[in-house]
Amino acid sequence: MVGETSIWIDGAPASALELPDRAFAYGDGLFETLLLRGSRLLLQELHLDRLRVGLQRLRFPDCMDSVCDYLAQAAAAEPDTDLFRVLRLTVSRGGGPRGYAPPADCRPRVIITVSPPVDAPSGLPAPARLGETSVRWGRQPLLAGLKHLNRLEQVLAAADCDPHSCDEVLMLDQSGMPLSVSAGNLFLVAGKRLLTPSLDEAGIAGTRRRLILERLAADCGLQAAETRLELSQLLAANELFYCNSVIGLRPVGTFRDRCWVEHPVTRRLHTAYLECLRE
């Protein structure tokens, strides 16, 4: 129904999660945020690839066949229109006895929520005011890149995003190097080079980040690379933008005393991104 949120648990419509559940108790699980156009999931394989890596690294039993079946079922239940919705897929390790150690016979649960319609991705979003936060990413190489359920660093960082002064905040790693914004991956443009922070020790390997690195950059005649960035490089960049699965690409208009008025490369990349969504 338009205006309502649909909830599915293990393929069945639901309104409550049975407890105990390790996702609730310990954040023991992973999630993906996908765009849904009508009954079609967009860029689904990028999300499934990341989820598959996360499940293996967290030592979940293989449940990808069930995940794919439940995703297809939830998507097919939506009306076949041009409306866009946001689908959140959560995979929990499921129930189990008290204690951190995961049960040997765990049965993962798949929770899917589908939002009411959202604005369709269209032109380049308005340039963002980028602020700062004292919250830094913790260093944990084992979990780096994964979209696991423990997101307190980003929760605290987002709380520093004062809507009267900024739209997003820059998050640094433990060495003081730029790593991301609170809800997206960071890129800078330096001539024909497109640079984004390495995520070997912390951060989330976003699906749009991967799409830009592996496809869109080359399509737009750019040389893309992952590297360790410094604050001075951000301030000296020709352009700065961040990306996630809901907004696509959003240029940064101001950061500290730097102001960017033109965003030709970001605009070109965003146009190429919209073309991907139409495929």
How does pLDDT run across 3-24, given as a tens digit for each residue? 678 999 999 999 899 999 999 9
Distance CA 3, CA 184 (A): 26
Cα angle 82, 88, 93 (rounded to 5 degrees) comes to 150
Query: Which residue blocks in 27-160 are alpha helix, DSSP H?
Result: 44-57, 64-76, 152-159
CATH topology of domain 6-114: D-amino Acid Aminotransferase; Chain A, domain 1 (3.30.470)
pLDDT tens string 79-132: 888 899 999 999 999 999 999 999 999 999 999 999 999 999 999 999 999 999
pLDDT at position 91: 98
- Cross-strand partners of 194: 189, 224
- Cross-strand partners of 109: 92
CATH class of 128-278: alpha beta
pLDDT tens string 27-53: 999 999 999 999 999 999 999 999 999
Residues of the chain above pLDDT 90, percent: 91
Residue 22 CB-half CA count within 13 A: 24
Q: What is the pTM of this model?
A: 0.95
DSSP-derived letter for residue 174 is: T
pLDDT tens string 168-214: 999 999 999 999 999 999 999 999 999 999 999 999 999 999 999 99
- Cα separations in angstroms, 134 against 110, 112, 147, 186: 34, 33, 22, 17
Domain boundaries, the chain: 6-114, 128-278
> Residue 1: pLDDT band by 50, 70, 90 thresholds?
very low
Distance CA 142, CA 156 (A): 22
| Token code pair at residue 258 | 């730097």
